[in-house]
Amino acid sequence: MLVMVMEGEPVNVNEFQELARQALPKMHYDYYTGGAEDQYTLKENVEAFRRITFRPRMLVDVSRIDFSTTVLGYNISAPIMIAPSGLHKLAHPEGEIATARAAAVSNTIMVLSSMSSCTIEEVASSCNAVRFFQLYVYKSRDVSAQLVQRAERNGYKAIVLTVDVPRLGRREADIKSKMILLQIKNFEGLSSTKVDNDDGSKLEAFAKRTFDDSLCWRDIGWLRSITKLPILIKGVLTREDAIKAVEVGVAGIVVSNHGARQLDYTPATITVLEEVVHAVGGKVPVFLDGGVRRGTDVFKALALGAQAVLIGRPAIYGLAAKGEYGVRKVIQMLKDELELTMALSGCPSVKDITRSHVRTQHEKFHSML
């Protein structure tokens, strides 16, 4: 495989973002990087991590660091998974197949978006790995049911139901650029993705026409009735919803604000993670996405109770810059940074990472009083 070598290889995820900006047409870069409205939450997702500091322990034997973990019983090399994100072919011609192969080589789990530019089947046959499938519920429930059945038939191990999109958030960069919708391959033969409106984002028009905004808690029962796969719920930000999610029998919760692309001025995910973790009381695993750019961020999320994090934009930046190699490189960077953070904090394994290893801004404030 030909690997592009640039003058000075990127040494962190933010440098990969700059490479992606250089590689992509502005419309596509804006689609991946943009958030909703004022983009307050977009900035806050990243900034909130910076307000959490470490309380490292000294004189701990860290000659061997083990950051492997399990998710729903599946072993992964590190608590870093690939979040569902749509239309990877806008970033690279191989699209989700390249991302899936990178996840497989990295021995981690990729969550394939239902808005993928490669089909469920193409990704399943591209490499052997544990994979989850992300689902939206559509006005045509039959379309949703068929996608779930295809995922189950093709060996996907869980359904990740996204619940924060009754309507698409106002993404002004996409409206300005009149974001063009690629053919979403999973819908071929099920539903047309052709959109006729010429005003604003085609993606927004597609979502308005197809997403079921009547979806509610009782519909989790419907989803459970059509699949044997465990269901994770993605998009929870409050204690109240976390409690309901456990009550309806989900297998896990992803604390997420949709990469700040839905409702602006929602809190950064890392700031509400503990609230959700305390609400579920260990009954189901809790995961986090949003704003993870460093291995230190992964450590902070684990210390606050996440079992693993999911990365969306970092994987896209790697894909846009250097294809499959780029995604692998981004994952490896985060692993290396996590390993160093664990060593310098006195944590030989992920089980050793505790709440007492970090201090939040709230705690800093109270310690000054």
Instruction: Express each pLDDT in 34-45 by its tens digit.
Output: 999 999 999 999
Task: Tell me the C-alpha distance between 120 and 117, whole Å.
Answer: 10
Closest CA to 112 of 99, 125, 126: 99
Task: Specify the length of the chain in residues.
Answer: 369
Residue 4: per-residue pLDDT: 44
The model's pLDDT over 272-301, given as tens digits with 9 standing for 90+, comes to 999 999 999 999 999 999 999 999 999 999
State which amino acid sits at residue 351: K
Catalytic residue among 28, 88, 258, 357: 258
Pick from 235, 260, 262, 267: which is nearest to 250 by CA? Answer: 235
What SS3 state is found at 306?
A: coil
**Average pLDDT of the residues of the chain:** 92
pLDDT for res 307:
98
Averaged over 97-118, what is the pLDDT? 97
Residue the block writes with tokens 């409050």: 238
Q: How far apart are CA 205 and CA 227, in angstroms?
A: 29
Res 135 pLDDT > 70: yes
pLDDT of residue 206: 73
**Does residue 366 have a pLDDT over 50?**
yes
Six-digit token string for 198: 């010429």
Query: Active site includes 258?
Result: yes
Q: What is the mean pLDDT of residues 128-133?
A: 97
As a whole number, mean pLDDT of residues 229-246 equals 98
